[in-house]
Amino acid sequence: MKIILPSNKTSKNALSLLIITVTAFLLVFYTLALEPHNVPLYGVAHAYAQPSAPSVTVAANRQGVEGQIRQIAEEWDFPYQDYLVRLAKCESGLNPKALGDGMFKSRGIFQISKFYHPNISDECAYDVECATKFTIEKINAGQQGLWTCDRII
């Protein structure tokens, strides 16, 4: 296959502009497609906490949330309880009220994206039981790659 480039300056400029435009479009599309996965390798800097009741200590809340996740996983005969807990720790720091940053509006303990999963209500995303069941269903369907932290835990 032989590629013939334009010979006059106007055509060369038009070709250059086309290449730059296509490259910019692909870069923007690629960035938007990866945005939910654009998180640091360690920590949960991509989520921040909503204010919670002052009477609940962080340690007690974490222990309770982890216990809830494990109990739900056991009830559903899900064999990867440790994975679920690590996923929740990575995604939200075990904070059911965590809000993600960015336009995809990830929320809750498993950072369920409102953009990609508009059928999941805020009530479900912020509810440990509902969010855990949703996550188990997705993992059982082979879709654990939906979570950024799947690649780093």
pLDDT at 33: 53
**Direct distance between the N- and C-terminal alpha carbons of the chain, in angstroms, rounded to an integer:** 46
Alpha-carbon distance values, 76 to 53, 96, 142, 147 (Å): 30, 20, 16, 20
Q: Tell me: the pLDDT tens digits for 62-115? A: 569 999 999 999 999 999 999 999 999 999 999 999 998 777 789 999 999 999
Q: Is residue 131 predicted with pLDDT exceeding 50?
A: yes
| Tally of CB atoms within 10 A around 49 | 14
More confident residue, 128 or 24: 128
Tell which wins on pLDDT, 145 or 54: 145
Mean confidence (pLDDT) of the chain: 79
Domains and CATH numbers, the chain: 39-151 (1.10.530)
- Mapping DSSP to helix (H, G, I), strand (E, B) and coil, where does residue 22 land? helix
Confidence check: pLDDT of 19 > 50? yes
pTM summary value: 0.61
Local confidence band at 42 (pLDDT 50, 70, 90 cut-offs): very low
Which two tokens mark 108? 């809750």
